[in-house]
Amino acid sequence: MNETIENKNYFMNIAINEAKKAAKKGDVPVGACVVCNNKIIAKAHNKKELKKNAILHAEIIAISHASKKLKSYRLNNCDLYVTFEPCLMCVGAILSARINNVYFGAFDTRFGASEQLVNNKFNHTSNFEGGILENECSTLISNFFKNIRESKKDKNKN
Amino acid sequence: MNETIENKNYFMNIAINEAKKAAKKGDVPVGACVVCNNKIIAKAHNKKELKKNAILHAEIIAISHASKKLKSYRLNNCDLYVTFEPCLMCVGAILSARINNVYFGAFDTRFGASEQLVNNKFNHTSNFEGGILENECSTLISNFFKNIRESKKDKNKN
């Protein structure tokens, strides 16, 4: 986890921009990008609602695109930036793809699964570091749900 | 887990047929199908090698297809049949898609993750039952790796 703070913030901002695209389409704002040798090789946002598909988390789409780009399912030299702590499925995908470092923004106290690693049996270990641009990332999520609650209240009033 | 043995074996045989397709293309033979109200709505096989993509396990593809078919990411009324015990990523996907029952064939003593459920924090629990047509399912896998080892030996001889 030797990345500079400037680089971490730079790449997390790319993920944040992706997250904003998800929100615009009505999806929970989570964005991700895959970085290899300091270059962004894939970026993606959550499309679960849009595509009605529970698989299509930002991390899964970004890893798929990165594999396509590198023509390999082994992403050992790649780091993943994601605005929200990955869930069990995405942690499994990260390990399966052998991602090197994972930098995430906001912590997911409900479904975050990065601590599941302790007991994992995969033949690869990814390093996880949370809290990169945490405020920006968590505000994205909280604003999204606040807007949903408010628009429901407005509907009930009318 | 009230399914009849006949039905379990019938649907597992569909998954086995899928697994055989994977082997023919050089992928570890794992096959899956999604069953809803006693009808197969999706079937798929492992395409990790073929597509050079660590995400493309049979379960992930089958769940994606089922979601597309039902136009929903909630597969509460669906069961998943898979020839090999699901890994961490696939268990996460199964829970995320809210699959009802999971029937798997061979146990994966290395990467099988169905027991991870005990400590999961998802707001859904899927039922797991292993050992359906276990011999057929595990033979598929062991034969696949035996063939790879033998073809390597042949290459070394030449």
Q: What is the pLDDT of residues B141-154, one digit of tens each?
A: 999 999 988 888 88
Pick the range with the lowest mean pLDDT from A11-15, B31-35, B75-79, B123-127. B123-127
Full-model pTM: 0.91
Mean pLDDT of all residues in B30-51: 97
Whether residues A73 and B48 touch (CB distance < 8 A) is answered with: yes
Indicate the length of chain B as a whole number: 158
pLDDT confidence of residue A1: 66
Confidence at residue A53, expressed as pLDDT on a 0 to 100 scale: 96
Q: How far is A134 from chain B (nearest CA, A)?
A: 22
Subunit contact A52:B60, Cβ cutoff 8 A: no
Tokens representing A88 are: 């069990």
Quote the percentage of chain B above a pLDDT of 90. 76
> pLDDT tens digit string along A56-89?
999 999 999 999 999 999 999 999 999 999 999 9
CB B69 within 8 A of CB B42: yes
Alpha-carbon Rg of chain A, whole angstroms? 16
According to DSSP, the β-strands at B101-106 and B127-130 are parallel
Tell me the C-alpha to C-alpha distance, in Å, between residue A96 and each of A21, A76, A93, B109.
Answer: 27, 10, 5, 16
Q: Average pLDDT of B59-67?
A: 98
Q: Specify the 3-state DSSP secondary structure of B149.
A: helix
The stretches in chain A having pLDDT less than 70 are 1, 116-122, 158
Residues sharing a CB contact under 8 Å with residue B110, sequence separation 6 or more, in sequence order: A121
| Nearest-angstrom CA–CA distance, A31 and A46 | 6
ipTM for the predicted complex comes to: 0.89
CA distances from B111 to A83, B77, B87 (A): 28, 27, 6
Q: Do A92 and B90 touch (CB under 8 A)?
A: yes
Chain A residues whose beta carbon lies within 8 Å of the beta carbon of residue B92? 87-92, 113
The arithmetic mean of pLDDT across residues B117-136, rounded, is 79
The two tokens of residue A96 are 């399966």
Tell me how far CA of residue B26 lies from CA of B32, B57, B147, in angstroms.
17, 14, 11
Q: What pLDDT is recorded for position A62?
A: 98
Q: Are residues A82 and A32 in contact, defined by beta-carbon separation less than 8 angstroms?
A: yes
Q: Are B140 and B22 in contact (CB under 8 A)?
A: no
Q: Closest Cα of chain A to B33: distance in Å?
A: 16
Which two structure tokens, joined as six digits, stand for B46? 């492992």
3-state secondary structure of B55: coil
pLDDT score of B112 more than 90: no
